[in-house]
Amino acid sequence: MIKEGTLHLDSYRLASYAVQVPCYICGGGNTFDAELCRHCCAPMALAHQANTQKVRPRMVAAIGTSGVGKTVYLGMLMDMLSRMPDRLQLLARGAFSITLQQITTAALSRGEFPDKTPNEPDRWNWVHAQVRAQKQRHPVDLIMPDMAGEALLEEIEHPRSYQVIRSLLSQCGGVLLLVDASQLGSGTLEQDYFAMKLLSYLIELDEDPKTGWPSRPIALIFSKADEREDCFIDPAAFAARHASGLYRLCQERFREVQFFASGVAGSCAYRNVPKLGRVRVPLRVEPRGIIEPFEWLIGRIKS
Amino acid sequence: MRVKIRDLVTKLKAVPRQRWAWLSAGVGGACLVFGGWWNSLPLFGIGAVSFALGALWILGWRTSRAAPAAAVAAPAAPAVVQQPRAPVAPEDTEGLVEQMLAQGRYALMLRPQVVANLSPAHRDRTRDELTEQMAFVPAGEVELGPWDEHSINPKEEDDDAHKSVYRVDAYYLDRYSVTNRQFLEFVMAGGYEQMALWDAKILPAVIDFVDQTGSLGPRYWRHGRYHEGSEDQPVIGVSWYEAMAYARWVGKRMPTDAEWVKAACWPVPLGPGSRMQRRYPWGDNMDRERANIWGSGPGRIVSVTEFGSGVSVGGVYQLVGNVWEWTASNFGAGGYGRPELVLPNPMKSVRGGAFDTYFDNQATSQFQSGENPIARRYNVGFRCALGACDVSFSDNGEAAEPEAELQEAGA
């Protein structure tokens, strides 16, 4: 028996699929309804939002080793700027941009640090926000991902293993480079070496003296400085004392580097967690030096 | 046209300073050369000035890049100059009493052994000073912990597992945190050199309790003096041991955790084993107008008399906000709060939150944080306590609880 019926041909769907939407981070083509870029796993919402605006969003990245405090820094920065817009006003574009500050503040108010950022780029939290400084007439659109430190290290050791990191850092207007002040202060040089690797990697990406990384702003932030009070008094002197290699590299190869100190937890203790071992916990939250590096960076990013 | 000029000005402003410097030096150099070539003195002069300015600018910029300014600068206000008090002869009772009152050491004169030796006029003045400077906290029970109801998972934890009930005797608590002006009296009286005031185990470290200039005193002072304009602000940059030494010097002590929480929560007994306690000194809801915490105040430490609307039931100011306060108790002891924590070193309990405390739930009467007793933090101060049994209100020197204040307190 033959049954007859009518099948609607949604030609507009075919047309939509035929037009490739380029990813805002890597430029790779994607279908219009893709959630994540199939090339670099960046959220396609960034591309859709960017297409609706007249001005192309700029990019800023927070980089540093695993456990240095990138998630806490970015989450607190977002939350502080959205709660008290005296110096800089920050408005999230899209619901996904609020997730990072939500996760960070929820954990900190419970007396815990947020979980480690997974290595898989599709599980990273991205922020797309509008930032307006008091003196600026026009707001700036910014894209900031919360990248995993281990993924960064992997990309440095084996270039092109994380396309998203490479594409993002090539286009970034500036970076917030976080270095663990408590580790440096205790005499461990691992942070010094890793920060030098990161800076060298940036130079490799674009070493044009006018438009490349030598002239782009780098805010070098000593995180966890609440454990090293001398770092707050003079971060540059702290860098010269405890990270001489990094300090020398900054002086020789980069024109726009400024040193900062920041801290979120006033005091810390530990908690034994099954499988994870001894985990650091904040005994109170009193952010210091969070906004200053970002404010400095925003003022120096070229259009 | 106006818009175009404005755009041009904006664009010019956006040019980095170092480019202006190079431009100035370059144009100046060119003017020098051409001025010399054409024997034009004005052109040569303009060129020389422009070149010099540009060169100085570049040099200045290079120097500042080599040693960038500190992101968080230390306070630069001048230190207060004050002379130490003249010594008083031992037989000059009048002068001695006046000096002790001026130094805020009235508690010593109200000791049962001392008060009977005072003249009636001095006795009255000393008692007035006590009631003006300290608030009475009646005896009773107080419940400590948990620091945040939301931190406990009701499925896994017993509600009472993080709570402890303590019995607190009647005592007096400073209405205000100890100020810079008050602490200066201790410094000028040689408090850091009086070994009897310090714990024996900390004596080797006392010589390291110095200020920015190496003089003995709180960490952020200069030349043994506080900064001008900060006399009524709480003293900060003092370790737990310095706070203890000061308390001993004025004849008081530090409040225990339970005493501090009782003054802030002001528990009201409802029945056997149950009581109503306030989440904040003024009530159960956070009111950011009443406390100097992050986002509510000017973002710095303020005078101890500000935020008067946040006063506790007993009349104690700024129990929440402005600066954390040392207590006599150990952090993590007592089984309340967060007993699962492993401390890197023994810590003392600090309470009350500070001007930069970010979360409301960390500025409650119950919230407890810990700090290394030797740490001299920028946002930790203290206030003193005095047991009601340690002061006498009768002329014969017998210790007694002031009935009028008990009635007033509703105990």
Predicted-complex ipTM score: 0.88
Range with lowest mean pLDDT among A173-177, A217-221, B25-29: B25-29
Which of A260, A261, A286 lies at the smallest CB-CB distance from B379? A286
Q: What pLDDT is recorded for position B7?
A: 62
Chain B, 51 to 90: residues with Cβ < 8 Å from chain A are: 65-68, 70-72, 74
Spans of chain B below 70 pLDDT: 1-18, 58-82, 147-162, 335, 337, 395-411
**β A21-22/A29-30 pair status:** antiparallel
From B195, B206, B364, select the one nearest B291 (Cα to Cα): B364
> Does a cis peptide bond (omega within 30 degrees of 0) precede residue A43?
no
Is the pLDDT reported for residue A102 higher than 80? yes
Which chain A residues have a beta carbon less than 8 Å from that of B372?
267
- Give the per-residue pLDDT at B117: 85
Say yes or no to pLDDT of A3 above 80.
no
User: CA of B217, closest CA in chain A: separation in Å?
Assistant: 18
Q: If pLDDT is split at 50, 70 and 90, which confidence band does A136 have? A: confident
Q: What is the pLDDT of residue B402?
A: 53
Which of the pair, B273 or A95, is modelled with greater confidence? A95
B15–A contact, CB cutoff 8 A: no
> To probe the interface with A, which of B58, B148, B341 has the most A CB atoms within 10 Å?
B341
B contacts of A251 (beta carbons < 8 Å): 65-66
Of A26-30, A298-302, B17-21, B231-235, the poorest mean pLDDT is in: B17-21
Percent share of chain A, pLDDT over 70: 97
Tell me what pLDDT residue A132 has: 87
Closest CA to B318 of B328, B329, B302, B307: B307
Q: With contact defined as beta carbons under 8 Å apart, do B323 and B339 qualify?
A: no
**pLDDT at B6 (0 to 100):** 61
* A258 touches B at CB < 8 Å: yes
Supply the pLDDT for residue B181.
96
Angle (CA) B294-B295-B301 rounded to 5° is 50
> C-alpha distances in angstroms, B280 versus B78, B263, B290, B364?
37, 11, 10, 5
CA A4 from chain center: how many Å?
Answer: 57
Q: Which of B74, B324, B332 sits opposite A233 (nearest CB)?
A: B74
Q: In the prediction, which pLDDT does B66 show?
A: 37
> How confident is the prediction for chain A on average, in pLDDT?
90
Q: Is there a contact between A297 and A217 (Cβ–Cβ < 8 Å)?
A: yes
